[in-house]
Amino acid sequence: MKIVRQPAKPIARSGIVNSAVGRLLVALSDRGIVLIQFLDGAWTDCAAAEAALSQHFQVTENAAAVAVVGAEIRRFADGDLNALTMPVDLTLVSSPFRLRVLETLRGISPGTVISYQALAAAAGAPRASRAVGTTMAANPVPIYVPCHRVIRADGSIGNYGGGALVKLKLLRAEGVRIDSDIWVCADSGTGSDAIDGRVHFDRKLRDSPAPPRITE
């Protein structure tokens, strides 16, 4: 009987970092950041994230290796919009559609927001706004792949894996104006995190060009 050896999985180094947006589980492959998982948010599902990571990588604990990610996020939250320099590895993205949406999202610059509908259209699927929302929820590398810049069409900021307060903090760090006089209950979340802000659409934001349309 011939024994077929399975190819070795690539290595991913993982660890927990304390950042300006809370504790994060971070994993790095040789290609870049493969996972950022919020540990303090209402939508945290570490078991699923770790299972997906282990499916593709041989995971080793290395807190020192991932510390740079926490440092970059701290500088970014302090207003240094050029701080996020680490490359991204989207190996954990599960479908070509989701990959296309996330690559389109990476073209949205700091200080600019886009609705789920507009992002769907920019990714070549104008009727897929709901699928875009699901893609944002499954984004394996938030902050670096900026799903915090995606909001609802009515201007409310919507859900976020790290919680509404973290999303507000990131948007404010980028200079997005938030109308603090308008607060509504979020449709998810509990306690002090059950808030939602409404983005102030001034002319600069309304007239921001959409990212280039991406087709298959």
Catalytic residues: 147
DSSP β-bridge partners for residue 19? 22
Closest CA to 161 of 189, 131, 195, 187: 189
Residue in the block written with tokens 């760090």? 173
Q: Which residues are within 8 A (CB) of 209 and not within 5 positions of it... i.e. 6 or more apart?
A: none
- Cα-Cα-Cα-Cα dihedral sign, residues 126, 129, 131, 136: positive
Q: Are strands 196-199 and 178-184 parallel, antiparallel or unpaired?
A: antiparallel
